[in-house]
Amino acid sequence: MVLERATAPLHGAVLPEPTPAPGQLLVRVHACGVCRTDLHILDGELPHPKLPLVLGHQIVGTVVGEERRVGIPWLGWADGECRFCRSGRENLCDRARFTGYDLDGGYAEYTVVDERFCFALPEDYSDLEAAPLLCAGLIGYRSLRIAGNAERVGLYGFGSSAHIVAQVARHEGRRVFVFTRPGDDEGQAFARELGADWTGGSDEAPPEELDAAIIFAPVGGLVPTALRALAKGGTVVCAGIHMTDIPAFPYELLWGERVLRSVANLTRSDGEEFLALAPQVPVRTSVEAFPLEQANEGLERLRRGEVRGTAVLDVATS
Ligand SMILES: [Zn+2]
Ligand SMILES: [Zn+2]
């Protein structure tokens, strides 16, 4: 399924089977998770994607000619030599290339990957169940780590990433406060099933102060809202790659050593840590499967907030 230009729906096309360069693996795709980032690329909200482009950066597949199952994440390549890479921050690499953005991704039957940038996957997960771990899980995990030792964690937006983070946070003995779109009773019930201690609309104040808040919804107006819910010394983490403008807010919302920051991309060590932790929790992913040809439908359901958990393209059976 190919993106020819921003804002046009993806269309089915027959592409030549990709040829792996030295150091790359040819991978038969079994499943690929749909991420909100894919929607931002589709909508032209992120600059300079490769075009035409195959989207998709939560790829589960097997290496052609081997039985080995691999997972392919958003970070597809980093140079290993810039000041960020040399200080353990390859997620910020100046020359990083991202899967399904700079490189063709997993909305396809085959893809190639640099063998240094793919992961082994825990065996307890089916292909469909494993796909959401690769971005929703990873970015959520990195966001939670950056939130520090917060005991009371707020999650704004309860989609693909938050439904995983909530489970990890509970496993770590934290309390979880989930904010959904006002009136999203289904989303709030889903959050309580996964262990949320409190749920409400994003227009509601939590019953007590939060030590951290992670914003998954791409809505800049939630930044002052989340800061207002925070105890002194707390952190607001913006987990998305794109957000609408943040409205002006009074300095007193930041005062008291409150911290506002973003999370960008992932490092390979995030992936290794999280993929080792997920089966111990154990994280259970909730997926809604779509055949590859229905990628546009999966994207639109995500846009409308109708997916419970993660939309995943089931490529193997397409
Ligand atoms: Zn993603
Ligand atoms: Zn670098």
Cα 281 to middle of ligand 1, angstroms: 22
- Residue 73 Cα to ligand 1 middle (Å): 8
Ligand nearest the Cα of residue 160 is 1
Residues 137-262, CATH architecture? 3-Layer(aba) Sandwich (3.40)
Ligand nearest to the CA of 241: 1
Q: Are strands 152-156 and 119-120 parallel, antiparallel or unpaired?
A: unpaired
CA 136 to centroid of ligand 1, rounded, Å:
6
Ligand 2 centroid from CA 89, angstroms: 8
N-terminal to C-terminal alpha carbon distance within the chain: 12
Query: What is the Å distance from ligand 2's center to 83 Cα?
Result: 7
Residue 318's pLDDT is what? 56
Query: How many residues are there in the chain?
Result: 318
Q: What tokens were used for 46? A: 């992120």
Ligand nearest to the CA of 87: 2
What span, in angstroms and rounded, lies between the C-alpha atoms of 57 and 193?
A: 28
> From ligand 1's centre to the CA of 263, what distance in Å?
12
Q: Distance, CA 45 to ligand 1 centroid (Å)?
A: 14
Ligand 1 centroid to 173 CA: how many Å?
A: 26
CATH 3.90.180.10 positions along the chain are 24-132+286-314
pLDDT in tens, 74-87: 999 999 999 999 99
Enumerate residues 6+ apart whose C-beta is below 8 A from 12.
1, 2, 293
**Domain 24-132+286-314 part of CATH 3.90.180.10:** yes
Please give the pLDDT value at position 291. 98
pLDDT (0 to 100) of residue 118: 98
**Cα(160) to centroid of ligand 1, in Å?**
9
* Regions of the chain short of the pLDDT cut 50: none
Alpha carbon of 116 to ligand 2 centroid (Å) = 14
Ligand nearest to the CA of 84: 2
Cα of 37 vs centre of ligand 1, distance in Å, is 5
Every domain range in the chain assigned CATH 3.40.50.720: 137-262
Global pTM?
Answer: 0.96
Q: Render pLDDT for 143-152 as a digit per residue (tens, 0 to 9).
A: 999 999 999 9
d(CA 64, CA 109): 12
Angle subtended by helix axes 160-171 and 136-146, to nearest 10: 50
Say which residues have a Cβ less than 8 Å from residue 183's Cβ, sequence separation at least 6.
201
Whether 58 contacts 134, CB under 8 Å = yes
Contacts of 101 (CB under 8 A, 6+ apart): 37, 41, 46, 49, 50, 53, 57, 74
CB–CB of 47/251 below 8 Å? Answer: no
Ligand 1 centroid – CA 75 distance (Å): 10
pLDDT for 67: 84
- Residues 34 and 105: beta-carbon distance below 8 Å: no
Q: How far is the CA of 91 from the centre of ligand 2 (A)?
A: 8
Token pair 């490092």 in the structure block, residue: 267
